[in-house]
Amino acid sequence: MKQYKVGLVGIGAVGTEMIKVLRQRNFPASEIRVLATREREEEIAGEIFHVQVATPEAFDGLDIVLFAGTEGAKGASMQYAREAIKRGCVVIDNGDDFRMDDSVPLVIPEINGDALENHQGLIANPNCSTIITLMGVAPLHKVVPLKHMTAVTFQSVSGTGRDAVCELEQQVQDYAAGRSSEPQVYRYPIAFNVLPQIGGPKAEMPGFTSEEAKLTFESRKILGVPDLRIASTCVRVPVFYAHSVAIHAEFERALTPARAREILSAAPGVKVVDDLAAAQYPMPITIGGGDDVGVGRIRVDPSVENGLALWCCGDNIRKGAAQNAVQIAEELIRRGLI
């Protein structure tokens, strides 16, 4: 099998997970070259990596470059993505800088891998909540077109980064010890609380946040339905890893819950866990750390014609970020596009 030289820009929570996923999936990498803002040594899953300073020359000789930027982390891909492409690399960007660029494919391989066929050297990784939502909805949409979707997300603190994970842990410890603590990462305490705001106000969607806008615009692009009606509320919850989404979907024709389970059970990357009587459904505590998106609580939504309600849950750092990016690279290889 052909081997590829892989570059990785950024070594935070997502970048670290990207290396783990590359190794776990036996990606054909002859080299993993880690680039960041400063030179140092990093140990990841028992392996030592020499981190180089990101410069234009640092991309020489690489075949694939994964940019591991998290939401709102501007700079790296804007500064270096085009430079890497000029030097012969195919870039897969986890950040949000290029997602809505018409010339850049926005890809979830199980859903719209065909979009890679016309790539121009740069592919965007969707937002974590978009990926987890569409893994549950897109297989149904392919059978019966979707007309409308309402989604409420329950997003873990790891989506904000390592500091947020530490803050939640510290606040829980402080609460148990009877100590007070001042929030640093979030405006309000996150322990034993929910925050109905992720991101800032979005001018294009008055009253909605940037996270909610991403779910709307990215879903439309990935599904290829530019006028799809979508409404969402994105909420930060005191969970370390894995996002959950409550979805109410309206389709052009009726889909029974039994038929929906049949479709989803056959969909790659989806695990149906749906037995209400036995209290079986996907939860962050059981889904976190896994590769699949769990779907459960599948039932008729009687509030609309041809409506279904369902619950999706997936690891936001893995399938919602690092794993999806690596899967894009695998799909490029499978299609002979690199």
CA pair distance 123, 105, nearest whole angstrom: 5
| Residue 309: per-residue pLDDT | 98
CATH of the domain at 117: 3.40.50.720
Q: Are residues 178 and 294 in the same domain?
A: yes
| Residue 74: per-residue pLDDT | 57
| Residue 107: per-residue pLDDT | 98
Task: Please identify every residue annotated as catalytic.
Answer: 128, 243
| pTM, full prediction | 0.96
| Residue 1: per-residue pLDDT | 83
Q: Are residues 186 and 90 in the same domain?
A: no
Q: Are residues 155 and 284 in the same domain?
A: yes
Give every CB contact of residue 197 below 8 A, 6+ residues apart in sequence. Answer: 209, 234, 236
Q: Are residues 102 and 9 in the same domain?
A: yes
Domain count, the chain: 2
CATH of the domain at 274: 3.30.360.10
| Residue 76: per-residue pLDDT | 84
Domain carrying residue 202: 130-316
Q: Are residues 154 and 107 in the same domain?
A: no
| Residue 166: per-residue pLDDT | 97
Q: Are residues 163 and 192 in the same domain?
A: yes
| Residue 72: per-residue pLDDT | 43
CA pair distance 77, 61, nearest whole angstrom: 18
Q: How far is CA 41 from the centre of its chain?
A: 27
Q: Are residues 119 and 200 in the same domain?
A: no
DSSP H helix total and E strand total for the chain: 9, 13
CA pair distance 296, 290, nearest whole angstrom: 16
Q: Are residues 161 and 38 in the same domain?
A: no
Q: Are residues 136 and 109 in the same domain?
A: no
Q: Are residues 99 and 214 in the same domain?
A: no
3-class SS of residue 286: helix
| Residue 71: per-residue pLDDT | 44
- Tens of pLDDT along the chain (338 residues) come to 899 999 999 988 899 999 999 999 999 999 999 999 999 999 988 899 999 999 999 999 999 999 997 544 456 898 999 999 999 999 999 999 999 999 999 999 999 999 999 899 999 999 999 999 999 999 999 999 999 999 999 999 999 999 999 999 999 999 999 999 999 999 999 999 999 999 999 988 999 999 999 999 999 999 999 999 999 999 999 999 999 999 999 999 999 999 999 999 999 999 999 999 999 999 999 999 999 999 999 999 999 999 999 999 999 999 999 999 999 999 999 999 99
| Residue 75: per-residue pLDDT | 65
Q: Are residues 212 and 304 in the same domain?
A: yes
Q: Are residues 286 and 171 in the same domain?
A: yes
